[in-house]
Structure 1
Amino acid sequence: MKWFKVMLTVCFSFLAVAGYSQMTMDKSAWTFEAKKKSGNQYELITHLKLEKGWHIYAMKPGGDGTLIAPSITYNANPAVKLTGTVKEKGKLISQNLEGIKGKVNMYSGTVDYVQTATITGPTTITGSYEYQICNDMMCLPPTTKQFKVAVK
């Protein structure tokens, strides 16, 4: 009988944890655009909107080296030449967080990730982005998703 009680407790504990993790949905919305600047010069912009109370670490998150920074990767495309690196645009928050040594850099609300590119004709740009978002209580698991942007 004792074995049955232990197994029952373990099963209920597992179900409670699984149910809670499924209830916590991704609180981020990502959109993508190719904005023509002049001639063949474009900005490939990734827009991120986070629900209130959630944040994403900066690409250079600071802290103690354990934080997961977002990244955007563009697949090779003969019609696209990337210039420089992805730049973040938003209101950077730098603060100390409990349990992490050093200042932590992050964004809440909205942030844009901008990549400059030369595009030599109509094409579709593809790639992936990896990120992790957090609130004051927890971080969701790191996520990798694919994207596609048509340039006419």
Structure 2
Amino acid sequence: MKKVFVCVALFYIFVSSTLAQGVNDPTVWRYEVHKKNTNQYELAFVVKLNEGWHIFSQKAGDEMLIPPSFHFDKNNAVKFVGKVIEQGKLKTEKMEGVDHPVRYYEGIVTFSQLVQTKSGTKIMGEHEYQVCNNNMCLPPKKKKFEFIIKD
């Protein structure tokens, strides 16, 4: 039964990816720095999704889903405090063909990472995400980012 589900899921992903080639990315990303206190800053990844589209939570609910991930280039001048957290209106729903409830966001979502560093530091990296609507999921997309810490 699991093999059948995997085959159906792979077929669905292939067909969705093929159809999605002509669809523009329904997201707009902003990258913001907010000073919290002396040498502590919040790096904010703010995404606005077009109507009808959603992005998964980092804890999407099933291993076949592709949650957002954030990868920072090595920088000895930066100390990461905790993990990336998410803020937005979280929705949890049961999806056909998925064993566990799926967690996702619509509208505007902020993913943020606290760091300790000093003014003038440049923090770079890449994040990956996938967006879906009720009919299809677009192929995963990677975007580079750069934060410049200023007081």
TM-score range, shorter chain: 0.7 to 0.9
Residue of 120, 140, 143 corresponding to 1:122 = 120
Please give the secondary structure, in 1, of the residue aligned with 2:46. strand
AA matched with 2:124: T
Cα deviation for residue 99 of structure 1 reads: 2.0
Whether 1:148 and 2:143 are equivalent positions in the alignment is no
| More strand, by proportion | 1
Residue of 67, 89, 104 corresponding to 2:87 = 89
Listed one character per residue, the Cα deviations across residues 71-126 of structure 1 (whole Å, up to 9, x for unaligned) are: 01111112211111000011110011122222000001111011111112312110
AA matched with 2:23: T
Q: Summarize the Cα distance change of 1:128–1:103 in structure 2 as closer, same or farther, 3 Å threshold.
A: same
AA matched with 1:62: G
Please give the secondary structure, in 1, of the residue aligned with 2:59. strand
Larger CA deviation: 115-124 vs 88-97: 115-124
Q: Distance in 1 between matches of 2:118 and 2:22?
A: 45
In the alignment, structure 2 segments of 5+ residues that lack a partner are: 1-15
Listed one character per residue, the Cα deviations across residues 108-151 of structure 1 (whole Å, up to 9, x for unaligned) are: 11110111111123121101000000000000001111111111
What's the TM-score once normalised by structure 2's chain length?
Answer: 0.83
What's the TM-score once normalised by structure 1's chain length?
Answer: 0.83
Which runs of structure 1 show a deviation greater than 4 angstroms over 4 or more consecutive aligned residues?
17-20
Listed one character per residue, the Cα deviations across residues 54-83 of structure 1 (whole Å, up to 9, x for unaligned) are: 0011000113x2111110111111221111
Q: Distance in 1 between matches of 2:19 and 2:31?
A: 31
Cα deviation for residue 20 of structure 1 reads: 5.2
Question: Are 2:75 and 2:123, in contact at CA under 8 Å, matched by a contact in 1?
Answer: yes
Q: Summarize the Cα distance change of 1:74–1:21 in structure 2 as closer, same or farther, 3 Å threshold.
A: same
Larger CA deviation: 74-83 vs 140-149: 74-83
Whether 1:72 and 2:56 are equivalent positions in the alignment is no
Q: Distance in 1 between matches of 2:81 and 2:25?
A: 31
Please give the secondary structure, in 2, of the residue aligned with 1:59. coil
Q: Distance in 2 between matches of 1:100 and 1:108?
A: 20
Q: Distance in 2 between matches of 1:100 and 1:76?
A: 36
Cα deviation for residue 23 of structure 1 reads: 2.9
In the alignment, structure 1 segments of 5+ residues that lack a partner are: 1-16
AA matched with 1:35: H
